[in-house]
């Protein structure tokens, strides 16, 4: 596992992925409100869309029909194609963490990101 420098903190806006290429892999780097960073492989395990081009959103729930509650604000990425929702922290598909039908497994590969004096590194 190597540490790759990918930029300074101010290059990563909150609320959208910043796409980077590291060691031959395309990643989306997410910066949360609390300045935590997360990195996901930019590849949806369903049918291969560039997952990190999907909107960053929240986990919408409901106690009963017609009522809406928002959780995990800014922590969910919704695939730009079929809309499967992934938890950016864990890389897991929210409704179904486990291996699903046929050939795919619905976890997106995620990588560690660290920040050192305003410099952001990804470990791959």
Partner 1 sequence: MTNLGVIDCDIHHNIPDIKAIFPYLPRRYKEQIETWGPLHGGFGHNGGRHGRRFDAFPDGEQAGSNLDFMIKQHFEEYNVKYGILTGEFSSAAMVGDPYYAAALCSAYNDYTIEHWLEKDQRLRGSIVIPYHDIAASVKEIERVGSHPQMVQAYVLGGAAHPYGQRNYHPIYEACLKHGLHFAIHVGAEGASRNATTTGAGYPSYYIEGRAARPQVFMAHMASFVFEGVFELYPELKVIFIEAGVFWIAPYFWRLDQDWKALRPQTPWVEKKPSEYLQTNMYYGSQPLEEVPNKALFDQMLEASFAKDRMLFCSDYPHWDFDSPKLTFPKMEKSLLDNVLYNNAAKLYGLPLQNGTEE
Question: Which residues would be at the binding site for ligand FES (CB under 6 A)?
Answer: 44, 46-49, 79, 81-82, 84
- Is 123 in contact with 3 (CB distance < 8 Å)? yes
Is 53 in a helix, a strand, or coil?
helix
The least CB distance from residue 71 to partner 1, in Å, is 22
Tell me the DSSP string of 40-52: EES--TTT---GG
Burial class (CB in 10 A: 0-12, 13-18, 19+), 53: middle
Smaller CB separation from partner 1, 46 or 89: 46
Residues near partner 1 (CB under 8 A): 46-50, 53-55, 80-83, 101-103
The whole-angstrom separation of Cα 45 and Cα 79 is: 10
Closest approach, Cβ 73 to ligand FES, in A, equals 21
Report the nearest approach of ligand FES to the CB of residue 90 (Å): 17
Pick one of ligand FES, partner 1, none as the site partner of residue 84 (Cβ within 5 to 8 A by kind): ligand FES
Q: Among partner 1, ligand FES, none, what binds residue 15 when CB lies within 5 to 8 Å by partner kind? A: none
Q: How far apart are CA 122 and CA 29, in angstroms?
A: 9
């Amino acid at each position: 596992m190597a540490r790759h420098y990918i930029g300074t903190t101010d290059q990563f806006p909150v609320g959208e992925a910043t796409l980077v290429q590291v060691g031959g892999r395309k990643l989306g780097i997410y910066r949360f409100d609390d300045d935590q960073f997360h990195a996901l492989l930019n590849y949806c395990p369903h049918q291969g869309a560039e997952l990190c081009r999907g909107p960053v959103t929240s986990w919408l729930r409901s106690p009963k029909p017609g009522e809406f509650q928002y959780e995990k604000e800014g922590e969910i990425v919704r695939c730009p194609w079929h809309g499967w929702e992934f938890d950016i922290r864990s890389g897991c598909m929210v409704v179904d963490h486990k291996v699903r039908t046929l050939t795919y497994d619905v976890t997106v590969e995620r990588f560690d990101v660290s920040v050192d004096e305003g410099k952001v590194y990804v470990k791959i």
